[in-house]
Amino acid sequence: MGQIRVETCDIEGLKVLIPEVFGDERGYFMETYRRDQFTEEGIPVEFVQDNQSSSVKGVLRGMHFQINHPQAKLVRVIKGRVYDVAVDLRKGSKTFGKWFGVELSSENKKMLYIPRSFAHGFLVLSDTAEFVYKCDDFFHPGDDGGLRYNDPDIGIVWPDEIRPEDMNINDRDRNWPDFRAQFG
């Protein structure tokens, strides 16, 4: 893929993307999205919405998904560090209910492509983090769903540099139903 290296994951469809960074004394330049290259790599997606969030250390956002309007996402961090996680919710997939995590940071410049029908969330590891992502469908109010970040049936292993008691999780994210209650 031209100037973006693609690494496949154990979960089909998930891809870690590592852009080539051209730097000098002035700073750097990199491509973060090229539709032709993405299509060549089996990511024929048309993004329609960009989002950005800012969070402080210990904030855990997730695990979110849209129920009737699933979104594919291309996620990256432009400031700080996060541990990013995706859970396969594709019924019939051989990895249904499995999770994958990767550290994304402004330093490593890695991105994660998440296909439709995955739950997604992240934990902020740095003092602050700015997180940006592209979506292939619009947000539909009232169509949001989620999974508990610590559901034992999924078994996400969050980095131990943030202790569970120090995680900053809003009530909605803390109280999502378990995977088994929603997906059997």
10-24 tens-digit pLDDT: 999 999 999 999 999
At residue 1, the pLDDT reads 47
Instruction: Give yes or no: 28 in active site.
Output: no
Closest-CA residue to 119 (of 106, 100, 133): 100
Q: What is the CA radius of gyration of the chain?
A: 16
Q: pLDDT tens digits for 136-158?
A: 999 999 999 999 999 999 999 99
**What pTM, to 2 d.p., does this model score?**
0.95
- 174: phi then psi, degrees, rounded to nearest 5: -70, -25
pLDDT under 50 in the chain at which residues?
1
Instruction: Look up 33 and say whether it is catalytic.
Output: no
Catalytic residue among 83, 113, 120, 133: 133
| Amino acid present at 132 | V
Domain 4-183, classified CATH 2.60.120.10, yes or no: yes
Write down the catalytic residue from 33, 64, 69, 149.
Answer: 64
Q: Residues 82, 109: contact at Cβ < 8 Å? A: no
Give the list of residues 6+ apart from residue 62 with CB closer than 8 angstroms, or none.
Answer: 85, 119, 120, 121, 122, 146, 147, 149, 173
Q: Taking Cα atoms as reference points, which of 37, 113, 35 lies closest to residue 72? A: 113
Predicted confidence at residue 12, as pLDDT, reads 94
